[in-house]
Amino acid sequence: MTFIKQLPENAGADEQEIFPDVFSLINPGQELKKPTDMFISAYTSKEVQYRSLLISTADENGTIFKLEPKTFEYYN
């Protein structure tokens, strides 16, 4: 999963930071095998907003990763 961070406008119009494997960088020991789809989930329960980034895979177990969408941190 590649993440491209846009730098502030005063840094230059075309400047950006590229992280080619942000998932493994933030979650050492975890690996996305055969990722297929990504979905941002948002729901409210008892006036609390929950958000998740879900990534499905076509690996041998059909794994679905649940990430914190702002940090890409794996939590389920």
pLDDT confidence tier of residue 28, bands split at 50, 70 and 90? very high
Residue 4, token pair as written in the block: 């491209």
pLDDT digits (tens, 9 = 90+) for 40-65: 988 888 887 788 999 999 999 999 99
Complete DSSP assignment for 7-61:
PPGGG-TT-EEEETTHHHHHSTT----SEEEEEEEEEEETTEEEEEEEEEE-STT
Burial label for 26, CB within 10 Å (0-12, 13-18, 19+), is middle
Domain ranges of the chain: 3-67
Whether the full predicted model's pTM is greater than 0.85, yes or no, is: no
Asked if residue 32 lies in contact with residue 57, where contact means CB atoms within 8 angstroms, the answer is yes
